[in-house]
Chains A and B, each alone.
Chain A
Amino acid sequence: MAISSLKFSPDGSLLASSAADKLVKLWDAYTGEIIKTFQGHSEGINDIAWSSDGEYLASASDDKNIILWSLEVNAAVKTLKGHTNFVFCVNYNPQSNLLVSGGYDETVRVWDVARGKSMKVLPAHSDPVTAVSFNHDGTLIVSCAMDGLIRIWDAESGQCLKTLVDDDNPICSHVKFSPNSRFVLAATQDSTLRLWNYQNSRCVKTYTGHTNRTYCLPACFSTTNGQFVVSGSEDAKVYIWDLQSRELLQVLEGHRDVILALATHPTRNIIASASMEKDLTIRLWLDESSIPT
């Protein structure tokens, strides 16, 4: 059993979590109280994503489906079928009319949310796709996979614009655009995070010190109080680096197993992390000095 994904709602009031127990749960982001549980998948869930208006959640499951949940009616409103194997990752575009997903069938799929239908299938990789997301204006998609490749796609035509790869091509476990969308942050299973300028195809920063050799650990940006890169680790700790200097600034200890899920709050200095098997907890880390009284 493991908690696979954590995401704060766009307004920061809620925290959504997904787990191998086939459930999506909603929590109050400030008090930690459980608010709601969504049930419907027939297998464990790998990832969740919020729509930009905070009204919908999408969940990606080993049951090969993506389910869209409405917070207003408190129920599943659509099931997106098409992937032929576990769906591993999912994200909305900023306009939230499209979803992008990736999975063990090695494809990246773009979905029309309103019609609940697959619009594009990209045979994107030669191994399971571990992460997909849109950039800030929805024109580009980034994907990464266990084949070690990071690919950037034109969202409209589905054309691959470039392929970023480091010499040894270690398994790539996570990738996302930076908040200004000029860089992509990639986590690879050689215990390294790399910040790539994808326009000139150069790796501009690397962050090390944590352990990532086996699991798909997400990495996040934290921008509420400076510029930081945050990642989970297989030694049960959360690592925080200064984005520019690459200096390891802080290590958060408390979890007792691998940290598989991580989220940074959109407006406050809060980090949420979650773990697996030996420690099925979600922990919220606060910078108390910054909380308004």
Chain B
Amino acid sequence: MSIRSRISSLAMRSASTQAGRGLSAILQKNPHDVVITFAKRTAMGRTKKGQFKDVPVDEMMQSLFKATLEKTRLDPAKIEDICVGTCHPPSPTYVSRAAALAAGIPPEVPISSVNRLCSSGLMAIRNIAQAIQSGEITLGVAVGVENMTLNPRPTPVVTEAVDKQAQAHDCIQPMGWTSEMVAQTYKVSRQKQDEYALISHTRASEASTRGIFAEEIIPVEIRGSVISVDDTIRPGVTMESLSSLKPVFPDWGAASTTAGNASGIGDGAALCILTTRERAESEGMEILGKWVGSAVVGVEPRFMGIGPVAAVPKVLSQFGLSKEDIDIYEINEAFASQFAYCVEELNIPMDKINPNGGAIAVTHPLGMTGVRQVVTGLAELRRRDAKLLCTSMCIGSGMGAAGIFVNEARPLHGAKL
């Protein structure tokens, strides 16, 4: 490459990483943009009784990698890095690498795992996207996976010297405790929590009836069965059925968190393929969307659920966007207590948020969620022929994260049904 073209391509690259503030700049298409060419998820399984209760994460990943390679016909040798967002399986990097190898991905393809708790899936996308932006790689795969049935959250243990510090003590407490802390401190009533929970359950059930999720689910074959439908969504939830549920954390004050207004516990995996726009176009890969960027924040550990209230404005201002510029928000529903608080504090209309339901209805397999939100959000933008997605979640131990994506896929015509 001549000196002149090398300098100009470097200039282009740093220009694209710093440019792009404001809606019209964000919507521009540049050859060095990081684009998503594939975004799918497996169906989800309910904890303990669902379809993945006996299927460890390595097997989930192996079958998802295989189904992805078959569907995309991507030569796996072209993958330059894989990042797996996952929280609690033992030896996450080892088992992810084994799963990739067993799926036919050659040993020349490296892999890593990332754990930022509930945002791990988004962090996996962020790691691959930023590696592409830096020029280190040009094509990578981001995965989010969790099996909460087989790998439940372990209880963190710290020494007395560390535990003495109040926030250090708070940051390792169970998630249910933080839900009650948010509910009680910010006065989110049980009634309000159940109302938001009902929205989630109703939207997810309707989406399932309309067959919406069939567009984003990739069937995977596991032990001779084809897994393709969420077994997590409960039809026919009403305010009566929600209000009759007993609080699950009665030890922590005037308890209001129930099984119906908390995120379901579940198992599942999701995957995105990312590359540069230039490479996608030259190799004929369909461009579904574009990575814009992300933001991570820390908040008071006791109130970890308020994470999105800090993360969403930060990412919007980073890119010169207003909250009205965003067409769809996927904000994780860890608990209706924190979700209700975030939605009202951010003052975003509910019809833009989680249009097909959220974690309260579909469950929140920790590592999967960050990728699932992108899969689900892009699929809905595609149906609506709309442009901007903002995903966000609160994070255990007191953090928040958010990401911005642009949809570039045209609405599907001639769908199966």
Contact = CB atoms under 8 A, between A and B. Distances in A.
Q: Do A and B bind each other?
A: yes
Interface of A: 107, 120-124, 126, 140, 148-149, 151-152, 154, 157-165, 167-169, 198-199, 201
Contacts of A165: 205, 209, 235-236
Most chain B Cβ neighbours within 10 Å, of A122, A123, A158, A167: A123
Contact of A158 (B205, B209, B210, B219): B219
A122 B219 CA distance: 10
Interface stretch (B82-90, B97-105, B133-141, B220-228): B220-228
Nearest to A168: B236
Contacts of A159: 214, 217, 219, 226, 228
Nearest to A110: B226
A280 B319 CA distance: 76
Given A162-B417, A163-B209, A123 B225 contact: yes
Contact of A161 (B51, B205, B235, B417): B417
Contacts of A122: 225-226, 228
Contacts of B209: 162-165, 201
Give the interface size bracket for B toward A.
Answer: 20 to 34
A293 B30 CA distance: 79
B208 interface: yes
Interface in B222-260: 224-229, 231, 235-236
Contacts of B231: 123, 126
B106 interface: no
Contact of B416 (A161, A164, A167): A161
B229 A152 contact: no
A148 B235 CA distance: 10
Contacts of B227: 123
Contact of A167 (B51, B211, B235): B235
B211 A161 contact: yes
Interface centre among A107, A165, A198 (most CB of B within 10 A): A165
B236 A167 contact: yes
Interface in B259-308: none
A165 B208 CA distance: 10
Given A152-B417, A154-B416, A160 B228 contact: yes
A80 to B, nearest CB: 15
A158 B228 contact: yes
Contacts of A162: 208-211, 214, 417
A199 B219 CA distance: 21
Given A157-B219, A158-B219, A162-B417, A169 B226 contact: no
A165 B236 CA distance: 9
A124 B219 CA distance: 13
B73 to A, nearest CB: 16
A143 to B, nearest CB: 11
A162 B209 CA distance: 6
B225 A121 contact: yes
Contacts of A154: 416
**Residue from B43, B217, B224, B416 whose CB has the most chain A CB atoms within 10 Å:** B416
Contacts of B416: 154, 161
Nearest to A151: B229
A169 B417 contact: no
B195 to A, nearest CB: 18
Contact of A160 (B214, B235, B236): B214
A124 B210 CA distance: 17
20 contacts: A107-B225, A120-B226, A121-B224, A121-B225, A122-B228, A124-B229, A140-B417, A152-B211, A157-B219, A157-B226, A159-B217, A160-B228, A162-B208, A162-B209, A164-B209, A167-B235, A167-B236, A168-B236, A198-B417, A201-B209
A192 B225 CA distance: 33
A250 to B, nearest CB: 34
